[in-house]
Structure 1
Amino acid sequence: MENPFQDETVLARWLAGELTPEELQTLQQREDYAGFVQIIEELKGLEAPEFSAEFVWQQLQERLAGEENSKPGSVRDVDEFPAGTETVEGQNPEPETPNPEPSLLHIISWKYISAAAAALALIIAALWWLTSNEYPVSETLATKAGQQKQVVLPDGSTATMNARSSLGYNAKKWPERRYVVLDGEAFFKAKKGRRFTIQTKQGQVQIAGTIFNVYARDAELEVKCTEGKVQVINPKGTERVLLKKGEQVSVAGGRMQKRQRLTFYPAWYKGESIFREAPLQKVLDEMSRQYGLVVMADSLGTRSFSGKFIHKNLNKALKMVCDPMRLKYSLSGDTLHIAPR
């Protein structure tokens, strides 16, 4: 990853409000800008550990240059469809540097130090604290086609994963940071306490204690708030939406669209998939996940589908989708062929 600190004055001038519009726009377009915004928000009440500024800067530069020190966590497949809940168990030395590189405080001009030195020290401390291990995932769980799995997290919060989804977290660091990495879809019931963060490729979800569903597949993120409040942040950190009970938001193509919803549990939680003017390909992709099929579709164009299909009977599910869409289908083993009639 390109080092965002090539110009060491950028952070200080950003904190001091002295970036040019062009510089600010460039910074906001970085994929890690959301992380900087999050750090600023969390600095209040953050007790920074003792550290050497020169040592921290050196470590930060190394990590941003891509030097990975953490070991990858284990990955487990979930082999059985569960009948119920399964519980998953879940001072920095001064470097001896005879000729140290110039520290950040020596590089930045005194003009910016007077405006941002205190805040800059805190942000470096926070960056060091938050990225020292880059939230390594010590436990990762994955569901296969047609499977759902409920996981009990270290604080008693639960996450029920939909088919072909993966969820990772760090049990050891959980008391300090309730942080989950999700690829796929899961229904969360978060206990009240510290901020609970769900990180996806498509954006970030933050809550304190509530019930909500997160769908994160391909380039789409959809969050539905069942109880409490949920904050959703787009990938660049430039836009956020606060959801209340009964609301949902979709993030796709950089746009966030908020609307009302009525049902308490997501449809998949009750064994069916419901769609509203969804691209037909998205419907077939979900059918593939629920039934473990390879779908071969011909000449479907940009057609959309409103309706549902069930998860326990493939023949009925196919009729529920194909009949109203005037599609013909054939099955050969695990391969489903679909084409217009």
Structure 2
Amino acid sequence: MKREELISKWLDKNLNDQELKAFKNLEDYNDLVKLNTNLQAFKADNYNTSAELENVLSKIKSKNAQPKTHWIKPFMRVAAILAVCFSLYYYTTTLDTTISTEYAQKTTIELPDASSVSLNAKSHLAFNKKDWKNDREVQLQGEAFFKVAKGSSFKVKTTSGTVTVYGTQFNVKQRDNYFEVICYEGLVGVTYNTQETKLKPGNSFLIIDGKVIAKEKENRTMPSWLNNASTFRSLPYKTVIAEFERQYNVDVTLIGIDSNQLFTGSFAHDNIELALKSITLPLHATYSKSNNTITLKGE
């Protein structure tokens, strides 16, 4: 059953057990329930619509019809109900579809045009299914790898900049004071501060703390995080630590370590002991763990 039919039958309280289960599996189920609850405050008094209509018609036909003000009220009630139903329908059909990942979680989704998006840990993606044919646009917070199907213009909007797709495969990472786009196939345009930079395969665009950072040509065919590893080349150590925290859902404290020093290396996402050694040995640092907190100490 189509989404609109499920919503309509739900509003009429006419869902069977199977349909109710399908309705609860809708992505925006919680939003629909919340909206309907809030709208109850605006609901008109209970009344029999058929009886009210019959009453109005009989008064119109009657020779001794009452003044118009006597039958305006029922019509106002009908108008109020129609307004609420229209508002609910408009809201539910224009809602954005949202997908989020938590710490130490990744996921891959398919967009309405068969494009695919892989979300890294602690990331958020939103898009509108209804307008997708006319406007292929997504909102991204975090990091994602895109494989875009051919078609009209495709845009990825972040708080740091906008990525316009002329090709098919690219990675976008937007974190606190960090914005990076890597093109793996085709051609990608990155708009930052109203200026567009076009990237060919292997080219990157990187902004850290508001500064443009030059990077070596990318030789991999896809980002390393898709294979459960994070790789860094001459990036501030604080960037490494932030990614480590997202992948393992821990808090890291640095003692005697310069968080701005550059780091080159990688760590795995599926073995915390090995990962800790990977990010501490190059700095000759030590580490200790207490519950969900890890402390790194420099020499």
Q: Could you state the TM-score of these two structures normalised by the residue count of structure 1?
A: 0.58
Q: 2:204 aligns with which of 244, 248, 253?
A: 248
Q: 1:160 aligns with which of 118, 121, 128?
A: 118
User: Mapping of 1:39-58 within 5 angstroms?
Assistant: none
Q: Secondary structure at the match of 2:276?
A: helix
Q: Give 1:246 shift.
A: 1.7
Does the 8 A contact of 1:271 with 1:311 survive in 2?
A: yes
Q: Distance in 1 between matches of 2:207 and 2:95?
A: 25
Q: Give 1:228 shift.
A: 0.5
Q: 2:170 aligns with which of 205, 212, 220?
A: 212
Q: 2:223 aligns with which of 266, 278, 288?
A: 266
Q: Which has the larger radius of gyration?
A: 2
Q: 1:146 aligns with which of 67, 86, 104?
A: 104
Q: Distance in 1 between matches of 2:130 and 2:123?
A: 23
User: Mapping of 1:9-48 within 5 angstroms?
Assistant: none
Does the 8 A contact of 2:177 with 2:210 survive in 1?
A: no
Q: Distance in 1 between matches of 2:280 and 2:169?
A: 34
Identity of aligned residues (%): 34
Q: Give 1:256 shift.
A: 4.0
Q: Secondary structure at the match of 2:150?
A: coil
Q: 1:299 aligns with which of 237, 256, 260?
A: 256
Q: Give 1:279 shift.
A: 1.1
Does the 8 A contact of 1:193 with 1:209 survive in 2?
A: no
Cα offsets for 1:173-229 (capped at 9, x unmatched): 111101100011000000111110000011110014411111111122111111110
Task: Structure 1: give runs of 5+ residues left out of the alignment.
Answer: 1-72, 77-132
Q: Distance in 2 between matches of 1:268 and 1:306?
A: 15
1:194 is aligned to 152
Q: Distance in 1 between matches of 2:262 and 2:29?
A: 36
Report the count of equivalent residues. Answer: 209
- After superposition, the Cα gap between the structure-2 partners of 1:252 and 1:319, relative to the gap in structure 1 and judged at 3 Å, is closer
Q: What's the Cα RMSD here?
A: 2.0
Q: Could you state the TM-score of these two structures normalised by the residue count of structure 2?
A: 0.66
Q: Secondary structure at the match of 1:173?
A: coil
Task: Structure 2: give runs of 5+ residues left out of the alignment.
Answer: 1-26, 31-90
Cα offsets for 1:217-243 (capped at 9, x unmatched): 112211111111000010x21x21111
Deviation beyond 6 Å, 4+ runs, structure 1: none
Q: Give 1:297 shift.
A: 1.5
Write the letter of the residue equivalent to 1:325.
Answer: L
Write the letter of the residue equivalent to 2:196.
Answer: R
- After superposition, the Cα gap between the structure-2 partners of 1:171 and 1:222, relative to the gap in structure 1 and judged at 3 Å, is same
Q: Give 1:273 shift.
A: 0.7
Q: Distance in 2 between matches of 1:255 and 1:197?
A: 23
The answer to which structure, 1 or 2, has the higher relative contact order (CA under 8 A, 6+ apart) is: 1
Write the letter of the residue equivalent to 1:298.
Answer: I
Write the letter of the residue equivalent to 2:245.
Answer: S
- After superposition, the Cα gap between the structure-2 partners of 1:226 and 1:295, relative to the gap in structure 1 and judged at 3 Å, is same
Write the letter of the residue equivalent to 1:221.
Answer: F
- After superposition, the Cα gap between the structure-2 partners of 1:253 and 1:292, relative to the gap in structure 1 and judged at 3 Å, is closer
Q: Distance in 1 between matches of 2:238 and 2:124?
A: 22
- Higher share in helix: 2
Q: Secondary structure at the match of 2:105?
A: coil
